[in-house]
A and B are shown apart, each in its own frame.
Chain A
């Protein structure tokens, strides 16, 4: 009898040990590794386009198509977003009714800091984008928030991007499970299919960069947020990050989320982290 009890104990011990190891391996497989993602992401695009200099990816479709690039360079003497920069500079310098101004809400008075956004705020446990920070600044100083998809927000972010032109993205993911979770939610949003047309962001920007839908050349996902906000000829005007995300959703026949929805901020966080080291090129012009 005793030998059976011993054998049973041994078997059970082995079973438990196996489960612990398997559990650990499963956890490792599921563990979020932004640095591994980052390296794989960058390698994918640089291998796909070996003739595109790394920093040129921030120019989106112009890095993919020589003809398009010529057209873009032709308008560079009078960039269509200049008016937005001027307006944004003026707005930035104009105090709120309470005497404070935008600079008071940001490090370095808000100049040359765009490349640090989005960041993870450990106090509130959420991703803070530049657009969100600007509206929170307004509300904290007794002002009405701006629409995230209209020209005022585009002007402010155009100016702030302009003061950071050329500075490399420096997005941080603190060693905080909530930050990692936000990063992963952003990654999931990017790769998940949505809308009646069943596209994910990756369908166009990972699987088909440089290809064209009708006549529109698709940008690579690497560096895709570096040029925001953009003047889009198709829109005859400026478009914020929020406007672009909302439009992409509708184009695949998905009902857009509210601008600056948690998932939109998470996907911006993910894409910005993937673009770390690449220079801010905003505000940008696009066809």
Chain B
């Protein structure tokens, strides 16, 4: 009895691992969800104002988004900027993506993940 249970558990775990790895592999072969959100005009629409590697015809109202890990080592700070930059700069033209319900918290986190790859 014991031998068969251990064997069954191992199979189950292996199956789960296989599914997870397979799904993970598919995600990285496609665009990162954060990049899709950042470039989507109805979501982050970041290229309208920011030059970001991987995007075309960017605007220049905001600074280029590069070296983000170096410039924003504090993830919370970067997320706060996306959520509501008017808190730091009342005259900013950057939309408050969180405060004005343009992006969900999850979407902001995904975009931050993406920005950290730039």
Cα separation A213 to B93 with both chains bound (whole Å): 12
Interface string of B94-109 (1 = CB under 8 A from A): 0110001110000000
Interface residues of A in 199-231 (CB under 8 A from B): 199, 203-204, 207-208, 211-216
Cα separation A192 to B7 with both chains bound (whole Å): 68
A197 touches B (CB below 8 Å): yes
The answer to whether B47 touches A214 (Cβ under 8 A) is yes
Interface residues of A in 121-145 (CB under 8 A from B): none
Cα separation A19 to B18 with both chains bound (whole Å): 79
B117 touches A (CB below 8 Å): no
The answer to whether B93 touches A207 (Cβ under 8 A) is yes
B36 touches A (CB below 8 Å): no
SS class, residues of chain A in contact with chain B: loop
Cα separation A214 to B95 with both chains bound (whole Å): 16
Q: Which residues of B contact A46 (CB under 8 A)?
A: none
Cα separation A211 to B58 with both chains bound (whole Å): 11
Residue from B47, B91, B93, B95 having most chain A Cβ neighbours under 10 A = B93
Option from B57, B60, B96 in Cβ contact (under 8 Å) with A211: B60
Q: Which residues of B contact A (CB under 8 A)?
A: 47-49, 57-61, 86, 91, 93, 95-96, 100-102
Q: Which residues of A contact B (CB under 8 A)?
A: 196-199, 203-204, 207-208, 211-216
